[in-house]
């Protein structure tokens, strides 16, 4: 399989299913559900963006500053008078390969975000959605895939896979912690 994206998708398929299931416990139909959704994303996204920044992600992705969504997520939380949930920890287990694997998951989460943004808008028109709507019309996903194929193809496969698993794992932990806190 030559295409790196196809391999990443294969490695992440089952984990994507898990993350989708874990987040489906948080409804976007109610204000409280949306707050919990944003808090859970914050617990994962703030840590992952910080971790990648510390790993020198801007050396890998030239348009990294335009991709960061922590501020958009903070703005939504603030608009809803909501504290972020405590940030979860993530430890990089590898070099550039790990970062590319984790970036694939982070950037891919925008795709589901589009769908969720439509769902939220239908259920709660007027809800703040800087995060779900972040740079929606800027073609960040195709731009990411081009960079991935041209820059990450020589990376260590185990590191790439580990990055995918760790990043998905972080979001799954965040969604599970949020669902448990609701019990």
Task: Compute the radius of gyration of the chain from its Cα atoms.
Answer: 16
- What is the distance of C-alpha 65 from the center of its chain? 15
The residue (of 81 and 149) whose beta carbon lies closer to ligand HEM is: 149
> Considering the complex, what minimum distance in angstroms separates the CB of residue 46 from ligand HEM?
13
CB atoms within 10 A of CB 104: 25
Between CA 7 and CA 30 the distance in angstroms is 37
Q: How far is the CB of 15 from ligand HEM (least distance, A)?
A: 8
Considering beta carbons, is residue 65 or 142 the nearer one to ligand HEM? Answer: 142
Three-state SS at 7: helix
Q: Identify which of residues 112 and 143 has a Cβ nearer to ligand HEM in the complex.
A: 112
Nearer to ligand HEM, 96 or 116 (CB): 116
**Phi then psi for 50, rounded to 5 degrees?**
-60, -45
Cα end-to-end span (Å), the chain: 44
Contact residues for ligand HEM, defined by CB under 6 A: 5, 9, 12, 16, 19-20, 23-24, 104-105, 108-109, 111-112, 115, 168, 171
State which residue, 9 or 93, has the beta carbon closest to ligand HEM: 9
What is the SS3 assignment for 81?
Answer: coil
How far is the C-alpha of 100 from the C-alpha of 106, rounded, in Å? 10
CB of 135 to ligand HEM, least distance (A): 16
Question: Could you tell me the smallest distance in angstroms from the CB atom of residue 147 to ligand HEM?
Answer: 14
CB of 151 to ligand HEM, least distance (A): 17
């Amino acid at each position: 399989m030559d295409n790196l994206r196809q391999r990443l998708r294969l490695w992440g398929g089952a984990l994507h299913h898990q993350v989708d299931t874990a987040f489906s416990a948080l409804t976007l139909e109610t204000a409280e559900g949306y707050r919990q959704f944003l808090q859970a994303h914050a617990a994962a996204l703030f840590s992952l963006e910080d971790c990648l920044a510390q790993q020198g992600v801007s050396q890998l992705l030239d348009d990294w500053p335009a991709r960061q969504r922590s501020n958009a997520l903070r703005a939504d939380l603030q608009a809803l008078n909501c504290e972020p949930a405590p940030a979860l920890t993530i430890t990089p287990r590898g070099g550039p390969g790990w970062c590319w694997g984790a970036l694939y998951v982070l950037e891919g989460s925008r795709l589901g975000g589009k769908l969720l943004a439509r769902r939220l808008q239908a259920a709660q028109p007027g809800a703040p959605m800087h995060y779900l709507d972040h740079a929606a019309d800027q073609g960040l996903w195709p731009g990411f895939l081009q960079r991935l194929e041209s820059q990450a193809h020589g990376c260590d496969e185990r590191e790439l896979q580990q990055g995918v698993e760790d990043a998905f794992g972080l979001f799954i932990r965040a969604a599970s912690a949020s669902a448990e806190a609701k019990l």
